[in-house]
Amino acid sequence: MARKPAAGPASDPELLILSSLASGPKHGYAIMNDIAAFAEVAIGPGTLYTAITRLVEKKLIAPQASVGRQRPYRLTAHGAATLAEHLTSMRRVATVGLARLRPA
């Protein structure tokens, strides 16, 4: 069951959108459903499009030709590099954190 975004780096809407688009171009509705499926986080339409606006401005994603009233977005090369950098950093922190939590 999808839940509302919780605080923490893994629920950052921009990061979730970039992760969703890593598997290929999607329009807003598909991005929302994908995020709900893989991250179990429900992003509201307003939050989603605010994040999409910022990502387009930062040139991390780019709009494609509209299909009807829906417009797909794709990850740019810069977006893919930024996502990889963020996820690597998160993995490093997660690995250390989990190792330290493990009983000696």
Partner 1 sequence: MTTTDRIASALLRICPKSWRQEYGAEFEELLRSRPLTAWIIADVVRSGLGERARVTTLATRIGLVGMVATGGWMIWSGSPAVLLRESNKLLPRVIVLPLASDPYLLFLALLGGVIVARGGTPSAAGRAAATISFFTGLPVAIVGFLMLARLVPAVILGAAYAPSALSVLTAPLFRLPETWLLGSLGGYLTAKLLRHNGPERGVA
Number of residues counted as binding partner 1 (CB under 8 A): 19
Strands (E), the chain: 61-63, 73-75
State yes or no: residue 11 binds partner 1 (CB under 8 A): no
What binding mask, one character per residue, do residues 31-70 give for partner 1 by CB under 8 A, x or -?
A: -x-----------xxxxxxx-xx------------x-xxx
Q: Which residues of 41-60 are buried (b: 16+ CB within 10 A; e: fewer)?
A: bebeeeebeebbeebeeeeb
Positions touching partner 1 (CB under 8 A) are: 4, 27-29, 32, 44-50, 52-53, 66, 68-71
